[in-house]
Structure 1
Amino acid sequence: MGKNKTVKYFVVDAFTDSAFKGNPAAVCFLNDDDNNERDDTWLQSLATEFNISETCFLIPITGFDARFSLRWFTPLAEVDLCGHATLASAHCLFSNGLVDSDMVEFVTRSGILTAKRVSDNSELNDGEVKGGTFLIELNFPVVTTCDINLSDDSSSMITKALNGATIVDIKATATNNILVVLPSMESVTELQPRMDDILKCPCDGIIVTAADSAGSAYDFYSRYFAPKFGVDEVKE
């Protein structure tokens, strides 16, 4: 049993119901023996080989039916949290009958995260209820933010990185990101950031967000740019 042992994996397109859309994540299944044989360098090398925004590794925790260790890697580094790869992991477990529970727990660098399978009671166009499908509810930790006082140089750097976008507010997050509030949903979706300048900013990544208009089906829009992790935009 060596490092050439086969690894079972899925590539899942999250946040879509169509092939080749959404945000892809590779979900790799390991066991305790695999984990002991494969060090962090090997895990990172595999994530680099996949070369998609996130590759994650699931390891069952002995003694529990639906508890797994979960780690996330971009092509360049391990990260503390990834939403779409967690969703992809839960989808793989539920869709392939790999757990008997409707609740899965993931032990991660960001604490214990949960994923719950719930019935999809939405209606089709003819009024019939969908059958055999389900939704997944994720429970994630709250990331705190705080006000920051930027120097003129730092403020100018962020404005340049966001290609001159009008900035309503700026916050720092506890995860070393900068959260930038823009005026409108359109300003978020139409933004064309300058990745080379984001690399120079004093943070791991930049989140841009804005509240949507009244009556919309969405509360807000957000985008996350993290070129320092080898991913220009993480589509969460």
Structure 2
Amino acid sequence: MPTSTRSHRFAVVDAFTDVAFRGNPAAVCLLDGAGSGARIHDVDRKWMLAVAAESSTRRTRRSSPPPPPTEARRRRARFHIRWFTTVTEVELCGHATLAAAHFLLTGGVVGTGTTGAIEFVTMSGLVKARNRAQDSATHGVDRGGFCIELAFPVASVEECASGEIELSSSEEVARLYPNFIEIQECAKRAIIIAGPAPIGSQVDFITLLFAPNVAINEDQVCGSVHCAFAPYWAKKLGKTRLTAQMASSRGGTLRLELNEHAQRVRIRGEAVTVMVGTLLA
């Protein structure tokens, strides 16, 4: 178990927003040192959960393997990553992955000699992240912001949650008031609410997600669930490039692109680092 004899860098990053204190916050903890990619699976799980509970937000940890050859390092960087809520480990977490990529790219962890590409080794397979700032206009990011693109496999709604409820309008979604006790009793994982955005808006559909059984009453912005929503709404609306808006209290925007042939969903978003520090325990 890590102790105070070895410190670890951490940051709190707001994902899927370009404004501080919006979007979905994630605490990112970096286990430094060559060879730590092998050690991340040996780190005490109770310690990881304790750190997540201390931060009171979903916690991301990742560690780097031994440095690859110089040429490979210029092309991409690879990290192992695990995700925790305050009560459990989860198999996939989109907003925390975006937060981790943002921290690595802006915090000087991934060198400028790379192409801005990062590979994350996860429980759900390989997840790729890329800095899309250089072509932000092409991918629809306003204000020329620093945009990160994640590539996930297509998923089914059943893989992401216990149930989905589609409402007829975004107004109905926004007016919904959840009963978390009843959701906790009937849902093993989560309940997803979705509805079409108003005609003429810059958003295609609106979503909410409630998961009290994993200590997340309302997920402020959930990236991974859009691996299921992207193919559904692409078919429903007849287009493969979509913009989703989470109607949570903090809100957040996700830009989606479905590659049906490869069965992959590209999720693009911005992020803001709001806190950095050192974990001593």
The TM-score bracket by the shorter chain reads 0.7 to 0.9
User: Structure 2 CA distance, aligned partners of 1:202 and 1:24?
Assistant: 24
User: Structure 2 CA distance, aligned partners of 1:77 and 1:121?
Assistant: 35
User: Once the 2 structures are TM-superposed, how far is the Cα of residue 202 of structure 1 from its aligned partner?
Assistant: 3.8
Partner of 2:195: 210
Matches within 5 A, 1:43-122: 43-52=48-57, 54-64=58-68, 65=73, 66-99=77-110, 100-118=114-132, 119=134, 121-122=136-137
Q: Which amino acid aligns with 1:104?
A: I
Cα RMSD for the two superposed structures? 2.1
User: Once the 2 structures are TM-superposed, how far is the Cα of residue 142 of structure 1 from its aligned partner?
Assistant: 1.3
Structure 1 unaligned segments of length 5 or more: list them.
Answer: 123-128, 146-172
- Indicate if the aligned counterparts of 1:212 and 1:221 stay in contact, CA closer than 8 A: yes
Aligned mate of 2:45, from 30, 40, 47: 40
- Indicate if the aligned counterparts of 1:3 and 1:37 stay in contact, CA closer than 8 A: no
Aligned mate of 1:230, from 215, 232, 239: 215
User: Structure 2 CA distance, aligned partners of 1:8 and 1:34?
Assistant: 16
Change in Cα spacing, 1:202 to 1:232, as seen in structure 2 (3 Å) is: closer
User: Structure 2 CA distance, aligned partners of 1:12 and 1:34?
Assistant: 24
User: Once the 2 structures are TM-superposed, how far is the Cα of residue 215 of structure 1 from its aligned partner?
Assistant: 2.3
Partner of 1:142: 154
User: Structure 1 CA distance, aligned partners of 2:53 and 2:2?
Assistant: 20
Change in Cα spacing, 1:86 to 1:217, as seen in structure 2 (3 Å) is: same
Q: Which amino acid aligns with 2:64?
A: P
CA deviations over 1:55-75 (Å, ceiling 9, x no partner): 000111334441111111001
Larger radius of gyration: 1
SS of 1:140 mapped into structure 2? strand
User: Once the 2 structures are TM-superposed, how far is the Cα of residue 120 of structure 1 from its aligned partner?
Assistant: 5.5
User: Once the 2 structures are TM-superposed, how far is the Cα of residue 121 of structure 1 from its aligned partner?
Assistant: 4.6
Q: Taking structure 1 as the reference length, what is the TM-score of the superposition? A: 0.77
> Is 1:3 equivalent to 2:3 in the alignment?
yes
- Indicate if the aligned counterparts of 1:3 and 1:38 stay in contact, CA closer than 8 A: no
Partner of 1:194: 179
- Indicate if the aligned counterparts of 1:68 and 1:107 stay in contact, CA closer than 8 A: yes
- Indicate if the aligned counterparts of 2:31 and 2:62 stay in contact, CA closer than 8 A: yes
Q: Which amino acid aligns with 2:99?
A: A
Aligned residues: 200
Partner of 2:236: none
User: Structure 2 CA distance, aligned partners of 1:35 and 1:72?
Assistant: 12
Whose RCO is larger (CA < 8 A, sep 6+)?
A: 2
Structure 2 unaligned segments of length 5 or more: list them.
Answer: 138-142, 222-281
- Indicate if the aligned counterparts of 1:47 and 1:74 stay in contact, CA closer than 8 A: yes
SS of 1:214 mapped into structure 2? coil
